[in-house]
Structure 1
């Protein structure tokens, strides 16, 4: 029985990197997943939450729970998951929602949604047992950036590397301090611009030292931040979301 994925497309992806969302759909369908998209979905509430506006964030999170509630008629028909191309948003749902809905009437619905929510690569590897996408091909060397959300909030490290190592023609070269923050951090990049840029510079310099052509990660927010510095300095590096790499060559 084919699993069904209710895909959650975060604000960053929807507004700035829609092709990455399509790459995720392409990859999921390639491995036999039934993909469903609810056009009513909006935000997970993370921007407001991180800025300290918790009541406003809770209102957005309530809508998320409603948007991704499994229809009763489909609850037992086949496995149904929530899959997103953003470890940051997945981390918000899995962790911060517990605080937002602690002791609230929505707590049971929250727990049900949390238990079905996965970042793309962990869904493919840990749930479906897939470690390579058939036909994926991309020539060059890549270095991997562990986003703070993926590594620290979701415990994701091996899955994206396994999938990327399965892409024909793609060679991994680990950079120094790969687990160090890139400096984005949402509003941190706005409030502490100088520190944020310095952190991006350090990350990019480590990537350049590897001789890689690509920096690949699970989070477009990190990649957007790094790409801005790379373009400003006209450096020979390209930022690529893991979904786009897995959808290459076929």
Structure 2
């Protein structure tokens, strides 16, 4: 078997635990490692053998979004080489997985070597809630947290990967969590990766509308699946003096809603 070949069949039907590469992502690694820890806990509970390849780097999305195709392609080739030996690649980010599943195959479409490798990796790459529900058919062990929560659908997860029902289904395992609808939950929060840097005035206006919608639900907690979006919304909520606390979905699923939320200090104070 070549170094960039997939391993044999695995998963619930095969009887062999799937070997999963946890793609941590840049923001999670730097800003909120607890999201990676929670993701790993869920994968292990679902019956996976989990590796965290230490040579993983950025997926290249910021470079591609900025028109720096050369560096984007270099990062993509590196990631493919590092991640392709696993049964599945899973990340707590629809944005980064969307890059692997769509941008990589498009970028190397005419490359006779990297094209097939990019397409093979894309077929095995999943956002965490989609992987747990759609691939593993897994329901987490119940946790308990009494709160009123609302959920924001991130653009990449919803539009590139079809993630909508999966996180809501998993959150049903959190006892006493009252999940209320967020008006226009499918509308962008204004982050958009490099968009918020290139167009800060538009980004600020969009996230302010989102913050008002979140506050209007009466929720205590905001949940979502991409840390960049959550940081953007947490920052705006904090500047508005809102008491709404912000967490990644995997943190809710692993009993972490009593810890410091996104943008909070160790004692729950806003930074």
User: Is 1:217 matched with 2:224?
Assistant: yes
- Following the alignment from structure 2 to structure 1, what is the Cα–Cα distance between the partners of residues 194 and 85? 33
Structure 2 equivalent of residue 179 of structure 1: 186
TM normalised by structure 1 equals 0.93
Any residues of structure 2 matched to 1:165-244 within 5 Å, and which? Answer: 165-244=172-251
Match of 2:150 among 143, 149, 156: 143
**Which has a greater percent of helix?**
1
How many residue pairs get aligned? The number is: 241
Aligned partners of 1:138 and 1:249 also within 8 Å: no
CA distance in 2, matches of 1:12, 1:214: 21
Equivalent residue for 1:36, pick from 40, 51, 54 = 51
- Where relative contact order (Cα < 8 A, 6+ residues apart) is larger, the structure is 1
After TM superposition, the structure 1 = structure 2 runs for residues 55-70 of structure 1, keeping only pairs within 5 Å, are: 55-70=70-85
Query: Aligned residue for 1:23?
Result: 38
Contact 2:46 2:136 in 1 (8 A): no
Q: CA deviation at 1:176?
A: 0.8
Q: Which residue of 1 aligns with 2:17?
A: 2
SS in 2 for 1:204: helix
Q: Do 2:142 and 2:173's aligned partners in 1 also have CA atoms closer than 8 Å?
A: no
Measure the CA separation in 2 of the matches of 1:249 and 1:215.
13
Q: Residue 118 of structure 1 corresponds to which residue in structure 2?
A: 126
State the match for 1:76 in structure 2.
none
CA distance in 1, matches of 2:38, 2:242: 26
Any idea what SS the aligned residue of 2:85 has?
Answer: coil
Look up the match of 1:48: 63
1:92 aligns with 2:99: yes
Contact 1:40 1:67 in 2 (8 A): yes
**Larger displacement relative to structure 2 (23-32 or 153-162):** 23-32
Q: Is the Cα–Cα contact under 8 Å of residues 150 and 222 in structure 2 kept in the other structure?
A: yes
Which SS does the other structure have where 1:152 is aligned?
Answer: helix
Q: CA RMSD in A?
A: 1.3
Match of 1:13 in 2: 28
CA–CA separation in structure 2 for the residues paired with 1:9 and 1:95? 19
Once residues 245 and 192 of structure 1 are traced to their aligned partners in structure 2, the CA distance between those partners, rounded to angstroms, is 32
* Cα separation, 1, equivalents of 2:40 and 2:142: 15
4+ aligned runs moved over 3 Å, structure 1 = none
Tell me the distance in 2 between the aligned counterparts of 1:192 and 1:43: 23
**In 1, Cα distance between equivalents of 2:148 and 2:169:** 15
User: Is structure 2 residue 109 aligned with structure 1 residue 102?
Assistant: yes
Unaligned runs of 5+ in 1: 72-79
Deviations 1:102-128 (A, max 9, x none): 111201111110111000000000001
Give the counterpart of 2:162 among 140, 155, 166.
155
Q: Which runs of 5+ in 2 are unaligned?
A: 1-15, 258-271
